[in-house]
Amino acid sequence: MSEARALPTPFLWGAATSSFQIEGASAEGGRGESIWDRYCQRPGAIADGSDGRVACDHFHRFREDLGLVRELGLGAYRFSIAWPRVVPLGTGAVNEQGLDFYERLVDGCLEHGLRPMATLYHWDLPQALQDRGGWASRDLVSAFERYADVVTRRLGDRVKDWVTINEPWCVAVLGHVHGVQAPGLKDWTTGLRVAHHVLLAHGRAVPVIHSNVPASRAGIVVILSPSMPASDSAADVAAARAFDGEFHRWYLDPLHGRGYPQDKVAEYTAAGHGAAFEAVQPGDLDTIATPTDFLGVNYYSRAIVRSSAIPEAENRPRTIPVPDPAGLTDMGWEVYPRGLFDSLVHVHREYRPKRLFVTENGAAYATGPDATGRVRDEARRVYLEGHLTACCDAVAAGVPLEGYFVWSLLDNFEWSHGYQKRFGLVHVDFATQRRTIKDSGRWLAQVLRENRLGGKAP
């Protein structure tokens, strides 16, 4: 282990989750159906044939789970609100029981001394809205604005940090182009229309948050994966640039007032998807560029891009297998902490967001309890240490990074992978719902207690 190193202060250390992945209780408390409930029923959609009906049963066990966040020594908790729990049909009647649940959750955070960060949309759209065209329809923008209003009016006296949308690329492309996430569509023109409406919904929600929540901080969360050509060949270099356009610039450019990148507009138009741009109406780009208080960055790995190799159905950028398989997580993603540093520095220099949070970072490893019940997940500890170091380096390089959230608090429903990919600092036995803090979690608690990296592992 390297030399001890002080952590930045002040700094927000947290863990992140999302509603569909942990809550369960999908038919309780007046919750409406979400597109993920529907998608899980599609044969073959979820690797282990599972669904979110029970998940981590967090709806009933949230007090225990907040206690775990505290035990991990963290000071913040990022969670998401299930739109169908609050407005079961997406528009119309508000379900007070749903709001009550989130109120209890937020009060629980405050009782434990945790600063809550709430995400309004982490992919669980009310199915009723999908039935009316989903994000491909412009009507979703006002539906989201109204939902944001309902939620922030109720929780805004206690929740100050608000994320509008989690990972617009995943919503648009994984859900509507590759069809590997709900609603499972496969059409680029639709995907581009969705991307526009999602960004627009974000831009319309920001002033709602600001006006309903005194001292609020509002932002959006993007996923970053620095794209590098597999070789110096002109074709690979062009492919890496094209990937960067699809994955990063398509969102970051309009969010920061630059409009959609012209190279990509030309490319999508040439590919026959130009009809999508009819969705862009006068004033939309100004709305999308509404100033925010932070940019959230989710980072897992880098993308090494070959000219021929971004297969249609891939749910992540293709990375070239690294020689040492120990360097890959169970998702097949390369462990590459340097990419987090590079991403943060790049985004800071290029777009100058007011402040940054790493809103997700973590690794899937299946390590379970040993005979003594201990979860010795050294690989996750190493992953986290590398990425925490990258955060310290970024702060030292002048990046206004003010917080870091581990993905995830609990092993949970990892979307189309079902329960097979375990990202938690806390192991969950899904048969008994028993929670066990993993060694990586104990290590993190020690790091936070000592406020330095590089101490002896507990």
Note if 385 is an active site residue.
no
Angle at 123 between CA 321 and CA 432, to 5 degrees: 80
Indicate whether 414 belongs to the interface with ligand FCB (CB under 6 A): yes
Element spanning 296, H or E: strand 294-299
Three-class DSSP category at 14:
strand
Write the DSSP assignment of 126-186 as a string of letters. Answer: BHHHHTTTGGGSTHHHHHHHHHHHHHHHHHTTT--EEEEEE-HHIIIIIHHTS-SSTT---
Indicate whether 166 belongs to the interface with ligand FCB (CB under 6 A): yes
Residue (182 or 276) nearer to ligand FCB, CB: 182
Which span sits near ligand FCB by CB under 6 A: 30-38, 98-106, 165-173, 231-239? Answer: 165-173
Residue (21 or 212) nearer to ligand FCB, CB: 21
CB of 202 to ligand FCB, least distance (A): 15
Nearest partner of 125 among 201, 68, 57, judged by Cα: 201
Which of 170, 205, 252, 447 forms a contact with ligand FCB (CB under 6 A)? 170
Please count the residues of this chain forming the interface with ligand FCB, following the rule CB under 6 A: 12
CB of 20 to ligand FCB, least distance (A): 9
Which residue out of 167, 246, 334, 385 is catalytically annotated? 167
User: For residues 187 and 276, is the Cβ–Cβ distance under 8 A?
Assistant: no
Q: Quote the distance between the C-alpha of residue 98 and its chain's center.
A: 22
Which residues make Cβ contacts (< 8 Å) with residue 410, sequence separation at least 6?
Answer: 17, 22, 56, 58, 65, 68, 424, 425, 426, 428, 435
User: HSE of 54 in the Cβ direction (CA atoms, 13 Å)?
Assistant: 8
Note if 414 is an active site residue.
no
Q: State the chain's maximal CA–CA distance in angstroms.
A: 63
Which residue out of 23, 246, 334, 360 is catalytically annotated? 360
Site for ligand FCB in 221-240 (CB under 6 A): 223
Which span sits near ligand FCB by CB under 6 A: 157-165, 166-174, 188-196, 282-290? Answer: 166-174
Which of 62, 415, 419, 443 forms a contact with ligand FCB (CB under 6 A)? 415
Give dist(CA 31, CA 247) in Å, integer: 33
CB of 443 to ligand FCB, least distance (A): 20
CB of 359 to ligand FCB, least distance (A): 8
Residue (47 or 237) nearer to ligand FCB, CB: 47
Q: x/- contact string, 13-52, with ligand FCB (CB under 6 A)?
A: -----x--x-------------------------------
Give dist(CA 40, CA 419) in Å, integer: 12
Give dist(CA 161, CA 438) in Å, integer: 28
User: HSE of 226 in the Cβ direction (CA atoms, 13 Å)?
Assistant: 15
Q: x/- contact string, 331-360, with ligand FCB (CB under 6 A)?
A: -----------------------------x
CB of 313 to ligand FCB, least distance (A): 17
Residue (223 or 276) nearer to ligand FCB, CB: 223
Indicate whether 301 belongs to the interface with ligand FCB (CB under 6 A): no
Catalytic residues: 167, 360
Chain residues in the site for ligand FCB (CB under 6 A): 18, 21, 166-167, 170, 223, 298, 360, 407, 414-415, 423
